């Protein structure tokens, strides 16, 4: 179970409960953060929990290179997660390698979640950690150019996009059809969240305390 830390403004891991999966359930959720200074710790707490699933494919979207660098630094100590960052100056072969490996993890996750077993050789016998790709909007795959989507099962919008078009592009390029979106919302961003909800017809629900039940 994840609980929000009242006046502390960030999430704290109490115990891990509700481990059963509800395959096929999709949805858009928001996670309210009391203050901006607690946002990164909330993110780390969230990934420290959901990242304990074997080979779980997660995409984290942010708006700036500075946020990408900060996220990379903050996530590096988490023992259950292997992460990669898509920088705009990555060589094409390195970018392709990161995306191809992540898609292999996503395929393995689907096998594990549906049958309880997968081929470990696809990603390496010694690495069954969850995999995270951190990406800015400028580095998302270009579907119109024939580049395939990333196919994560969980998309976390660390920075809430200001426009519904950007929100739609993130979901289209990052998620499988049954994927889950968690939007981190700080203070006045509630207005932006409501605008996206109304203009796109998406119902935004508050992220449940038993987060593992929706994954």
Distance CA 84, CA 106 (A): 14
Instruction: Give the residue from 149, 187, 189 showing the smallest Cα distance to 170.
Output: 149
Query: What local confidence, expressed as pLDDT, does residue 156 receive?
Result: 97
Q: Show Cβ contacts of residue 16 under 8 Å, excluding neighbours closer than 6 positions.
A: 1, 49, 52, 212
pLDDT in tens, 5-29: 344 443 433 322 332 223 333 599 9
pLDDT in tens, 35-74: 899 999 999 999 999 998 888 999 999 999 999 999 999 9
Q: What angle do CA 82, 137, 108 make, to 5 degrees?
A: 35
> In percent, how much of the chain has pLDDT > 70?
81
CATH top class, domain 2-214: alpha beta
pTM > 0.85: yes or no: no
pLDDT in tens, 63-119: 999 999 999 999 999 988 999 999 988 999 999 999 999 999 998 888 887 665 544
Q: Summarize the confidence of residues 146-175 as an average pLDDT.
A: 93
Query: What local confidence, expressed as pLDDT, does residue 112 receive?
Result: 81
Q: Summarize the confidence of residues 178-189 as an average pLDDT.
A: 92
Q: List the domain boundaries for the chain.
A: 2-214
């Amino acid at each position: 179970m994840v609980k929000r830390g009242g006046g502390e403004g960030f999430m704290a891991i109490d115990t891990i409960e509700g481990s059963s999966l509800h395959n096929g359930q999709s949805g858009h959720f928001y996670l309210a953060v009391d203050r901006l200074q607690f946002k990164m710790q909330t993110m780390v707490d969230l990934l420290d929990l959901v990242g304990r699933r074997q080979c779980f494919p997660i995409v984290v979207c942010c708006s700036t290179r500075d946020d990408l660098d900060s996220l990379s630094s903050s996530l590096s100590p988490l023992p259950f997660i292997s992460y990669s960052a898509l920088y705009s100056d990555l060589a094409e072969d390195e970018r392709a390698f990161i995306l191809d490996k992540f898609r292999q993890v996503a395929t393995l996750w689907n096998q594990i979640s549906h049958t309880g077993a997968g081929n470990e050789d696809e990603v390496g016998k010694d690495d069954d950690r969850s995999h995270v790709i951190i990406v800015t909007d400028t580095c998302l795959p270009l579907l119109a150019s024939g580049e395939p989507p990333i196919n994560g099962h969980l998309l976390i919008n660390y920075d809430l996009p200001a426009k519904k078009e950007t929100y739609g592009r993130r979901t289209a390029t990052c998620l499988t059809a049954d994927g889950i979106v968690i939007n981190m919302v700080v203070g006045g961003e509630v207005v932006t969240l409501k605008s996206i909800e109304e203009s796109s017809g998406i119902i935004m629900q508050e992220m449940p305390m038993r987060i593992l039940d929706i994954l």
